[in-house]
Structure 1
Amino acid sequence: MKSLMSILFLICIGISSLAHAELRSLRGSEVMNGDVPSENFRWEKDRKPLPRHFVQQPPIIPHSTKGYLITKEFNKCLDCHSWDRTADTGATKISITHFKTRGGTELTNVSPRRYFCQQCHVPQTDAKPLVGNTFQPAAGLVKK
């Protein structure tokens, strides 16, 4: 019993110290949670969908998603992008691929693996590159 109490005490101390520890990125900068103001970028205003630069690139979100709630019970993106709402909102329909399971079975609603939109889709910002980049769009996607 005494050893169990000692283990519980050590676990509580460890959890307490983690709660007060400052989170840092691998590059040493402080990690922040949620939508925070930044001097590194500003949210873009709504605009037309942006072009893609490589095959299978998820579309970039052409509007701010600041404050959008996506939980397992509610997805703000579906207010505009679900198939039954696009006629009213003018938003792009969710791709049919988002209704398939990993095994290829078609569902009547968005697949759980595609439900959290910002796993793949990101809002456009005016952020400056963190590192140099010489990427060129795929030749078949370049307008001539």
Structure 2
Amino acid sequence: MKRLVLAVLAVGMMLTGVVHSAEALNHPGGTGGLSSLRGATNLEETRPADPMKRYPRDQGTINSDYVYQPPLIPHTIRNYEVSLNANKCLACHSWKNANDMGATKISVTHYQSPRQGQVLSDVSPSRYFCLQCHVPQADAKPLVDNDFQRVDALRE
């Protein structure tokens, strides 16, 4: 029985190899065109970089599109360090610094442990990496078309 299973597997592998060989004839070197959101390109070609996204200055508060949406960042975050050892966001947005810096304070929810709901004296480790949820608002066209509409309660 083991020999029969091994024979079937060997034949399957050989057939797969034949299929791959025929595919290699159509795309020599395995560099066939790939299509993604950035367009079609060959693996061996280097295309020009996309233009840098523009972050408008002083655009003020950006309205939410849905309930519980993390607020968007109304400024550039280029060269901001958010790592285990440093968090540039807290330099302005912590409760201690927000008034002096004229920045929005971090939500009280960021000072609570997620499982026990205990209030902590510092930002919860699960909320420390701000850029997991908050992103800068860029003046960029969408990668894909969509017909998303704001929640009725949030429409202006």
Settle same-fold status: TM greater than 0.5.
Answer: yes
Among 79, 94, 98, the alignment partner of 1:86 is 98
% identity of equivalent residues: 46
1:118 has 2:131 as partner? yes
2:133 aligned with 1:133: no
What CA distance in whole angstroms lies between the structure 1 residues aligned with 2:97 and 2:140?
31
8 Å contact kept, 1:40–1:127: no
Gaps spanning 5+ residues in structure 1: where?
1-25, 31-36
Conserved 8 A contact 2:73-2:135: yes
Cα distance, 1:40–1:129 mapped onto 2, change above 3 Å = farther
- Aligned counterparts, 1:1-144, within 5 A: 27=36, 38-39=50-51, 41-103=53-115, 104-143=117-156
Shift of 1:46: 3.3
**Amino acid in structure 2 at the alignment position of 1:107:** L
Largest Rg, 1 or 2: 2
Alpha-carbon distance in structure 2 between the residues aligned to 1:40 and 1:64: 12
Letter of the 1:68 counterpart = Y
Q: TM-score scaled to structure 1, two decimals?
A: 0.72
Deviates more, 1:37-46 or 1:69-78: 37-46
The root-mean-square deviation of aligned C-alpha atoms, in Å, is 2.2
Q: Give the drift of 1:140.
A: 0.6
User: 1:119 and 1:93 mapped to 2: Cα distance?
Assistant: 18
- TM-aligned CA deviation for residue 78 of structure 1: 0.5
Judge conservation of contact 1:46–1:64 (CA < 8 Å) in 2: no
Which consecutive segments of 4 or more residues in structure 1 shift more than 2 A?
A: 26-30
Deviation, structure 1 residue 64:
0.3
Q: CA deviation at 1:138?
A: 0.4
Query: TM-score w.r.t. structure 2 length?
Result: 0.66
Q: Any idea what the Cα deviations from partners look like across 1:21-66, whole Å, max 9, x if unmatched? A: xxxxx93869xxxxxx841622332331200010000000000000
